[in-house]
Structure 1
């Protein structure tokens, strides 16, 4: 198992409380409250860093918020460079909702902004360290390959994995923290934010149940993907993620890593190599061709575009589930 927990398991309430402490330390949530959540249209002005944060803000805020997103559809979030106008918007926002560690330019700009409330989603749940490989038990199946895994572990860029939104349970923990922060920033509409948060939690619980049921019995537990974004999903549902590259979807694997993946695909009866919509599929298709495997899309949900298999987070996650069930031979 190639996962090392960074933060001990705690109750969701504790995570939310930690997040609220962070809010106060990041500029004080009272500024937005003093405005009464009132921009020119009387709504809470929220700036979201990229789509997973946008979805939370829209679902929880509803009609009482105006949401602007720094990362436009089709832009690879990791490579985002902010324009001066966007940096200016950060300073004028009532609330900034972001996920520290995934967009360096955003992290830097937020640190220098004077926003009323700054919500870092990573403070609202537990982070884990993931490299290229994430799974429950490689040792029994791969035996002598363990030395190879260790030798190439550096290629996986092991570290705190920010892709928490791809686990519906962790995403729900973040949602609860965001809801509590919205209530504090705009007390006049606290009841609505609370109700909207609960409605979203119900949707996420149903999604989690779909994944649990759909992936309970499969012919294989291993899937190969270009972007090592699905570590939390793999951990949640008892799967094994083998990433071609690390956390950076554009990084190139070494010949040794490609050979290792070919061996894993054969031993674990892997059928499919997954790629994503916002990054190059060249490496995935080359590996699939060399090993006689199929290719398909597993969407890391960093943005919704015309190519996305769904109109929102829930729909695209359901599409991901369907792709995994097919690739893993769900029974």
Structure 2
């Protein structure tokens, strides 16, 4: 549900937003445009915003729902944001990341990136944390962090180009051309990862939470997440289990992330005799962009896992 609101509160927000959207749409055509006559496109959080900006280019007006530095799972929507979603030509999101967005989107004007690719099942210990999962964003049976596989994101780029072309036929070819260019850039990063992680001393990736399943799957690594999600405190039994595995597999680095307290990772690192390093799950805007942040992640992984290209 939308954080901070009951189901009845959500209904009230949606009703109010619908009224605002209807008012804003009066006199507009079916394409739902901004004041500058460009289709209004809403992107749920950073990786999707970056992708939409690349594929949409100057032909759309992209609005991101999640501000930099905000954990996307914690997103709360105000009435104006919900109205923006309801009045957009397209909303780009991933079901299961942000329940607030899941509740607000309309099926005929939304693009769920998870439907564009083959998804992976939820984390390895999702069942033991089932209660936390119900209260958190992961309300789907699959792992929603698909943007951390650049090859999958390339597929999303291509399909997003088709959705934008269908919504704005006048610029259809431009969307397809930009989608192809974006997919090629993502495929180049994929090749860099495949080469850079081809030979590593260890293949075990110990992370603060299970955000890197797609990356691990793509490059034949083994993800061991301390928790399923960034807001759940691990049990002492889970910490002990991960510490034992990390020692057995010679893990030298425990990965943490910029938007989450490093305390748990530091405790685990002390138990293992390892160090910590930041591996960016790209849930918020980095200092550069998606491509540069992924390349920074590659360098971090190569150092931590003892890889030789």
Q: How does 1:32-181 map to 2 (within 5 A)?
A: 35-36=30-31, 38-111=33-106, 117-132=109-124, 154-155=128-129, 159-181=141-163
Residues 132 and 155 in structure 1, CA contact (< 8 A), matched pair in contact too? no
Which of 258, 261, 268 is 2:239 aligned to?
A: 258
Higher alpha-carbon deviation: 36-45 or 205-214:
36-45
SS of the residue corresponding to residue 223 of structure 1 reads strand
SS of the residue corresponding to residue 176 of structure 2 reads helix
Which of 236, 258, 275 is 2:256 aligned to?
A: 275
SS of the residue corresponding to residue 42 of structure 2 reads strand
Residues 245 and 251 in structure 1, CA contact (< 8 A), matched pair in contact too? yes
Change (3 A) 1:124 1:34: farther
Partner of 2:12: none
1:175 Cα deviation after fit: 1.1
The structure with higher relative contact order (CA 8 Å, sep 6+) is 1
SS of the residue corresponding to residue 97 of structure 1 reads strand
SS of the residue corresponding to residue 264 of structure 1 reads helix
Q: How does 1:157-236 map to 2 (within 5 A)?
A: 159-236=141-218
Separation in 1 of the partners of 2:297 and 2:65? Answer: 25
CA-atom RMSD in angstroms? 1.9
1:324 lines up with 2:301 in the alignment? yes
SS of the residue corresponding to residue 254 of structure 2 reads strand
1:300 lines up with 2:281 in the alignment? yes
SS of the residue corresponding to residue 160 of structure 2 reads helix
* 4+ residue segments displaced more than 6 Å: none
Deviation digits for residues 123-153 of structure 1, max 9, x if unmatched? Answer: 11111113247xxxxxxxxxxxxxxxxxx96
Instruction: List runs of 5+ in structure 2 lacking aligned partners.
Output: 1-27
Deviation digits for residues 227-255 of structure 1, max 9, x if unmatched? Answer: 20100110100100000000x21111111
Residues 132 and 245 in structure 1, CA contact (< 8 A), matched pair in contact too? no
Deviation digits for residues 207-242 of structure 1, max 9, x if unmatched? Answer: 000000000000000011112010011010010000
Residues 155 and 253 in structure 1, CA contact (< 8 A), matched pair in contact too? no
Change (3 A) 1:57 1:40: same
Separation in 2 of the partners of 1:116 and 1:253? Answer: 39
Query: Aligned residue pairs: how many?
Result: 273
1:291 lines up with 2:291 in the alignment? no
1:155 Cα deviation after fit: 3.5
Instruction: List runs of 5+ in structure 1 lacking aligned partners.
Output: 1-32, 134-151
Separation in 2 of the partners of 1:238 and 1:270? Answer: 16
SS of the residue corresponding to residue 200 of structure 2 reads coil
Separation in 1 of the partners of 2:218 and 2:188? Answer: 15
1:34 Cα deviation after fit: 5.4
Change (3 A) 1:91 1:67: same
TM-score, normalised with respect to structure 2: 0.84
TM-score, normalised with respect to structure 1: 0.79
Deviation digits for residues 53-73 of structure 1, max 9, x if unmatched? Answer: 101110000001111111111
